[in-house]
Each structure stands twice: as C-alpha cells, then as structure tokens.
Amino acid sequence: MLSALGCESSTLHSQPRDKLDSNNSDAANAQSQIPDLSTIATSTAVSEPFISVELPTRDRPVSAAMSCQIVSDNEDSTVVEVWIKVQIARGHYVYASGDDQGPFKGLSVELQLPRTSSTEGDWQFPVPISKNGHKVYFDSVVMHRQLRCSKASDSKVEATVYFQVCNEDVCYPSATLPISGSIARSN
C-alpha cells in the first residue's frame, strides 16, 4: 500500500540487547554502544502536518498551501509553527532559498504579520539538490518557522511565496503566490 502512494517502507532489524553474546568482545562492544532508549527525552517539536496542496498544472507549475499548528499557548501569547508546502509540477524545479545568482530568484517567503506578532528564528528549508551549479528543489518543498502571537492578534496568517520555476527548456520569470492559514485557538 505504501509503495502505491509513492512511499517506501524500510525496517531496521536488530537483536535485542539481552540477546547479544556478552562473552564475545565484539558483541560486548556493540552492546555498550546501543543507547538506552528509556533515558532519551521526548521532543516537544511539532511534527510536520499533512498539507493539502492543489496539484500544479501546465499553466501553473507551482502551487502552495499553509498550515498553522499551536506549539504552546499561555495567558499572554501563543507560539505557532507555520508550515508551507510548495508543490512543483513534474519535470519542473524551483531555485532554492539563497540561490539568487544572476537572473535566478530563489524560493523565499514573506509573512504579513500584525504588529502584535513576531517571528522566532528563520525559515527551515530542506537540503536542496545541486543542478548545473545551482541549488534547486523538485517535486515539493516543505518549510517551517515559528511565530509568537498575542492573544488579541488575528487568527489568520498571510504570506507571499516568491519563486522562479524552470524546466529543461525554459526558465519562467520569477513569480509570487499569496497563501494564508488559520490559527485554531481553543476557548
């Protein structure tokens, strides 16, 4: 089923710690390198959500959508993880963030925030692929960044995605996509 969805599943096979032969020095050494999972703290990071994006078309080879997840919520403010997924048509690619060499425009995002909101940290992008000396993305790109919003601020987040899309024959002029998402607050 996973392969039909374009996903691959892999399984890591290992012996339980108590099954290793402690008389064998290699086995004993391997046992000492196996981490005790009970001591590893659980992460409070928000996992990547499913983001439904319109499929790109021949006339519109890039589409994008946004998802906003509350990371923490207290009396004064809410920390929100903003996720953006950019979907790229088959046979096309976009230049990566920071690859604004020559006439090419790298992928970037500008948030339109109310005065009572602020960003925390930079956008986190996946590692791009190198193509003809430039960093590019194929298929899709998911990036994220945190915001701190006051309780009084609007629950809507708006952004503009800047990009330049190319295929093997042509690079189109740089373009923008306006997108938005909602912060679902519980009352």
Mind listing the pLDDT tens digit for each residue in 45-97? 568 888 999 999 988 999 999 999 989 888 888 899 999 999 999 999 999 98
- Compute the C-alpha angle 177/80/184, nearest 5°: 85
User: What residue has token string 């960003």?
Assistant: 119
Please name which of 41, 19, 175, 34 lies closest in space to residue 108, comparing C-alpha atoms: 175
Give the per-residue pLDDT at 133: 85
pLDDT value for 6? 32
Domain assignment of residue 24, yes or no: no
Is residue 140 a contact partner of residue 128, using CB atoms and an 8 Å limit?
Answer: no
Nearest partner of 180 among 83, 71, 72, 89, judged by Cα: 83
Instruction: Evaluate whether residue 67 is within a structural domain.
Output: yes
pLDDT for res 137: 96
Domain count, the chain: 1
Query: What is the Cα–Cα distance from 36 to 55, expressed in whole angstroms?
Result: 44
pLDDT score at 94: 96
pLDDT computed for residue 99 by the predictor: 63
CATH of residue 117's domain is 2.60.40
Please check whether residue 138 lies inside any domain of the structure: yes
Instruction: Say if 187 falls within a structural domain.
Output: no
Query: Residue 155's pLDDT is what?
Result: 78
pLDDT at residue number 30 = 39
Low-confidence ranges of the chain (pLDDT < 50): 1-44
How confident is the model at residue 35, as a pLDDT?
A: 41
Look at residue 130 and tell me if it is in a domain: yes
Is 136 domain-assigned?
Answer: yes
CB neighbour class for 76 (10 Å; exposed up to 12, middle 13-18, buried from 19):
exposed
Task: Output the pLDDT for position 117.
Answer: 87
pTM score over 0.85? no
Q: Is residue 30 part of a domain?
A: no
Q: Which domain holds residue 161?
A: 62-182
The answer to whether residue 46 sits within a structural domain is: no
Query: Can you give the pLDDT at residue 25?
Result: 43
User: Per residue in 7-18, is it b (16+ CB within 10 Å) or e — as a string?
Assistant: eeeeeeeeeeee
